[in-house]
Amino acid sequence: MTKVMPSAAYIAWCKDLPGDEPARLRKELAPAHFVHIETIMDKIRVAGPVRNENGETIGSMLVFNAESEAEARALLDRDPYAGAGLWESVEIHPFLPAAGEWIGGKIW
């Protein structure tokens, strides 16, 4: 198997506010959110909602192709969900995709 050398990646964990407001905001803003995602698709390795055991969305997880945390944050800050204050907290960290079918193997 060929070694896969990852480019710079950042993972963003966006935790929803508590209560019913996030579900309402997601429903209202989904079309604009999807347009935004489509405009930055070349910067996204994988993204989607995070759900609890009951299937309720509790946040969002995105892995960006980005050269810096500032670039990843700028991509995220332009999302309508961020602009509406949907997320209680946002954590962005450097991420090393090291193994798995999504990266085509392993890096060692």
pLDDT (tens digit per residue) in 59-96:
999 999 999 999 999 999 999 999 999 999 999 999 99
- How far apart CA 66 and CA 94 sit, in angstroms, is 9
Map out the domains of the chain as residue ranges.
Answer: 9-96
Q: What kind and span of H or E run contains 10?
A: strand 9-16
CB count in 10 Å sphere of residue 57: 14
The yes or no reply on domain 9-96 and CATH 3.40.50.300 is no
pLDDT, residue 102, reads 83
Q: Identify the pLDDT of residue 3.
A: 53
Q: Between residues 5 and 83, which one has the greater pLDDT?
A: 83
Q: Is the pTM of this model over 0.85?
A: yes
Q: What is the reported pLDDT for 6?
A: 54
